[in-house]
Amino acid sequence: MAEVNLLAKLPRGKRNVSARSTAKTEEHIRISREYGEAYFDGPREYGYGGYRYDGRWIPVAEDMVRHFDLKPGDRVLDVGCAKGFLVKDLMKVQPGLEAFGIDVSRYALMRCEAETIGRLHLGSADDLPFPDGSFKAAISLNTIHNLDRAGCIRALRELQRVSGGRAFVQVDSYRTPEQKAVFEDWVLTAQWHDYPEGWIELFREAGYEGDYYWTIIE
């Protein structure tokens, strides 16, 4: 288990944190947590403000292929795959790789990339419908924190189970009280979050042996 930044080459999104902090309401949170059209393709105050393929995941996919030494015929799972952009790019950078995804959003899955049709499943991170050791690697980016603490532990155990510990998670976190305050002004969907030390304690409690990194809003 090690801290590794596999999303270092992903362009940073533009966030107007001050606007979100004044606009965010319980209704915004409720609608965002439905993970439907409003969350992916509605106004920015509900989520992404438009989630469209632009190739930005290609360098990330290249780094993941190298990190896990993925070869043609290997199976990799993206837990929280949304519209399948990373699944598409993993197959693009490593032809012959068997990449799959799973997500709770029927809306996102119904708008997947053509290359990923038949590879994306409807389901939750804390109950993966795959046998033990099904994948050479399992990845979950900014997803498991959308569960409560018990759900995070279940999800980590599921990632561990299907990958044998060859996994990577990235979760919402903060290193200072100031960053925590900014995060709490911005967050819509995360139900569990903590400082890195708290997350690492949770990883150990779950028996998770994979790698990890943090999404920190600044």
**What phi and psi values does residue 191 have, to the nearest 5 degrees?**
-100, -25
In this structure, the answer to whether residues 89 and 110 fall within a common structural domain is yes
In this structure, the answer to whether residues 85 and 190 fall within a common structural domain is yes
pLDDT value at residue 164: 96
Last residue of one domain, picked from the residues 9, 34, 52: 52
State mean pLDDT over 84-106.
98
In this structure, the answer to whether residues 65 and 28 fall within a common structural domain is no
3-state SS, 109-169, equals: HCCCCHHHCCCEEECCCCCCCCCCCCCCEEEEECCHHHCCHHHHHHHHHHHHHHHCCCEEE
In this structure, the answer to whether residues 115 and 39 fall within a common structural domain is no
In this structure, the answer to whether residues 76 and 167 fall within a common structural domain is yes
Residues 162 and 209: their CA atoms lie apart, in Å, by: 12
Comparing 28 with 67, the larger pLDDT belongs to 67
In this structure, the answer to whether residues 169 and 84 fall within a common structural domain is yes
Q: Is residue 79 part of a domain?
A: yes
% of the chain beyond a pLDDT of 90: 78
Q: Is residue 64 part of a domain?
A: yes
Q: Is residue 102 part of a domain?
A: yes
DSSP label of 214: E
Domain count, the chain: 2
Q: Which domain CATH number covers 127?
A: 3.40.50.150
Structural tokens at position 37? 């059209």
pLDDT value at residue 122: 98
Contact 65, 90 (CB under 8 A): yes
In this structure, the answer to whether residues 167 and 90 fall within a common structural domain is yes
In this structure, the answer to whether residues 190 and 169 fall within a common structural domain is yes
User: How does pLDDT run across 100-128, given as a tens digit for each residue?
Assistant: 999 999 999 999 999 999 999 999 999 99
pLDDT value at residue 172: 96
Q: Is residue 7 part of a domain?
A: no
In this structure, the answer to whether residues 23 and 65 fall within a common structural domain is no
Q: Is residue 128 part of a domain?
A: yes
In this structure, the answer to whether residues 170 and 100 fall within a common structural domain is yes
Q: Is residue 43 part of a domain?
A: yes
Provide the mean pLDDT of the chain. Answer: 93
Q: How far apart are the two ends of the chain, measured CA to CA in Å?
A: 26
In this structure, the answer to whether residues 44 and 89 fall within a common structural domain is no
The model's pTM: 0.92
Q: Is residue 120 part of a domain?
A: yes
Q: With b meaning 16 or more CB within 10 Å and e meaning fewer, what string describes 128-139?
A: bebeeebbbbbb
State mean pLDDT over 18-43.
80
Paired with 83 in beta bridges are none
Q: Is residue 173 part of a domain?
A: yes
Domain coverage including residue 43: 17-52
In this structure, the answer to whether residues 122 and 150 fall within a common structural domain is yes
